[in-house]
């Protein structure tokens, strides 16, 4: 009998180190679907999502060459919760469709989906299990400030738009604490992979 693909959702707050885990899994040969990349592709010129956003908010959110002006879009949705919800509904529907199609065509036994807003979007119900990459809030803030060259207030505003750490920890099946060195994080990932292999026989 053909084995069912085990789908693992990978998530984490801003500055938690989720991307580090995602890249490490890819280096080990695992397939990792990147929801952020899919969402960026979804708003490229000519794509239905971009046309829907422009129809809803106006063409002023587009650049002169017809691309999405991400700064204008960010200012718009962060200032108005209802607009943020409307924009997310458009983009999330396209991302969900792309992820579903990719999962249906995947032939392997273990598939990872890197989804920053996994819990916020309610997509955890479609995962066999969820791995949360977590770190202390102050560490998340300092990492993001250094990485993106932004001030503390900007980071805190972005964090306010994400589910709180404690709630995420309650919902996740496995937690990768990333408060230490990168090598420690890799060892924890290796440990989880070994447990899954021993339990489910996934490669």
Task: For 138-157, write each residue's pLDDT tens digit.
Answer: 999 898 898 888 889 888 88
Average pLDDT of the chain, as a whole number: 90
Residue 2 has pLDDT above 60, yes or no: no
Q: What pLDDT band is residue 1 in, cutting at 50, 70 and 90? A: very low
What percent of the chain shows pLDDT beyond 90?
A: 63
Q: Which residue is listed with tokens 């955890």?
A: 124
- Check: CB of residue 5 under 8 Å from CB of residue 104: no
80-129 pLDDT, tens digit each: 888 888 998 999 999 999 999 999 999 899 999 999 999 988 999 999 99
Residue 81's Cβ-count burial label (10 Å; 0-12, 13-18, 19+) is exposed
- Check: CB of residue 176 under 8 Å from CB of residue 185: yes
Residue 104's Cβ-count burial label (10 Å; 0-12, 13-18, 19+) is exposed
For Cα atoms 166, 169, 172, give the angle at the middle one, nearest 5 degrees. Answer: 150
- HSE-CB at 34 with a 13 A cutoff on CA atoms is 12
SS3 content of the chain, % helix, strand, coil (to 5): 60, 15, 25
């Amino acid at each position: 009998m053909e084995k069912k693909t085990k789908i693992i959702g990978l998530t984490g707050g801003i500055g938690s180190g989720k991307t580090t885990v995602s890249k490490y899994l890819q280096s080990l040969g695992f397939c990792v679907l990147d929801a952020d990349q899919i969402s960026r592709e979804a708003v490229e010129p000519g794509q239905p999502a971009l046309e829907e956003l422009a129809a809803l908010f106006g063409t002023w959110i587009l650049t002169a060459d017809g691309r999405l002006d991400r700064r204008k879009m960010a200012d718009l949705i962060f200032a108005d919760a209802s607009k943020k919800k409307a924009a997310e509904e458009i983009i999330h529907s396209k991302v969900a469709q792309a992820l579903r199609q990719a999962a249906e065509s995947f032939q392997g036994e273990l598939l990872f989906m890197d989804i920053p807003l996994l819990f916020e979007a309610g997509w955890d119900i479609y995962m066999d299990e969820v791995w949360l990459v977590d770190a202390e809030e102050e560490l998340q803030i300092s990492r993001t400030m250094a990485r993106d060259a932004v001030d503390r207030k900007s980071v805190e505003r972005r964090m306010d738009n994400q589910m709180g750490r404690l709630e995420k920890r309650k919902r996740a099946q496995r937690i990768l604490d990333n408060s230490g060195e990168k090598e420690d994080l890799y060892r924890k990932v290796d440990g989880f992979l070994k447990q899954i292999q021993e339990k489910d026989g996934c490669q």
